[in-house]
Amino acid sequence: MNPLSGHTGAMELIRSSAALVVLIACSIVVLTVTLERAWRYFHSRARLPQLREGLRLALKTGSADDAFAVCRQYPSPAANVAVAGLANRHLPLREMDEVMAAAAAGERLILEKRLWLLSTIGHLSPFIGLFGTVVGIMKAFQDLAAAGGGGPSVVAAGIAEALVTTAAGLAVAIPSVALHNWLTRRVRTFVTEMEIMAAYLVAMLAEEKTGTAALPGSLHGRNGAKRVADRPAPTETLAPAA
């Protein structure tokens, strides 16, 4: 038995099926996007306790340069939102919160980049496999008609192509949907961290301005992610940054 016969048969099957070629290309796209997004998310993960404590100490001493240095020390979408807030700390608190909300929206666009590919491939792959199945069965009946009868060997190639494309479509779709859900969950985590950071920074600056304990005690819980813009903000403006 030729050890290369199985490999040769697989290559012939791929060359004879356009659906399989498309599905293989889709699987490469899924793998590439997943690895790129996972690498970015890993290097963008926020260390909120350290970031918040560093900002608290920096703002307590009144040093804006130290606050920016803390954000550079813990690079993440939450830190980028804090930088946007610190750069506009001379604005009223509500307007500063809107600036941070705009920065968070921009960060979210970056985090969601290319995720649509996983969703699209996950939804379309079964239909591509179904298309290959229909084409394979049509080929099997054409071969049977051309042969004028015969045994199972006449339609074996077409049926094999139909079954392989069906399985390939599901094999691409299932991981694509699972990976898309996982990465989307990571994006939601980043968004929550950005909202918490915005609320925390506004509360710290409000406390610094008014001298009252404005820091919300529920930041570690679910209510900590609630936008500060939903609450009345002081009308006074902060002193311009040095």
Q: Residue ranges per domain, the chain?
A: 16-228
Closest CA to 177 of 115, 102, 228, 235: 115
DSSP three-state, residue 57: helix
Q: Residue 136 has what pLDDT?
A: 80
Q: How far apart are CA 191 and CA 232, in angstroms?
A: 22
Distances from the Cα of 186 to the Cα of 36, 42, 112, 164, angstroms: 14, 10, 10, 33
- For residue 83 the two structure tokens come to 């930088």
Average pLDDT per run of 10 along the chain, which is 242 residues long? 47 70 93 94 84 84 81 88 87 86 92 93 93 83 70 69 86 95 94 89 78 41 39 40 38
Q: Residue 4 has what pLDDT?
A: 36
Q: How far apart are CA 42 and CA 57, in angstroms?
A: 27
Q: Residue 217 has what pLDDT?
A: 36
Q: Residue 5 has what pLDDT?
A: 46
For 184, half-sphere exposure in the C-beta direction (CA atoms, 13 angstrom radius) is 11
Q: How far apart are CA 214 and CA 223, in angstroms?
A: 15
Residue 92 φ then ψ, to 5°: -60, 155
Give the chain's largest Cα–Cα span. Answer: 94
What global pTM score does this model have? 0.73
Q: Residue 162 has what pLDDT?
A: 79
Q: Residue 119 has what pLDDT?
A: 94
Distances from the Cα of 220 to the Cα of 50, 162, 200, angstroms: 14, 54, 10
Q: Residue 161 has what pLDDT?
A: 73
Q: Residue 10 has what pLDDT?
A: 58
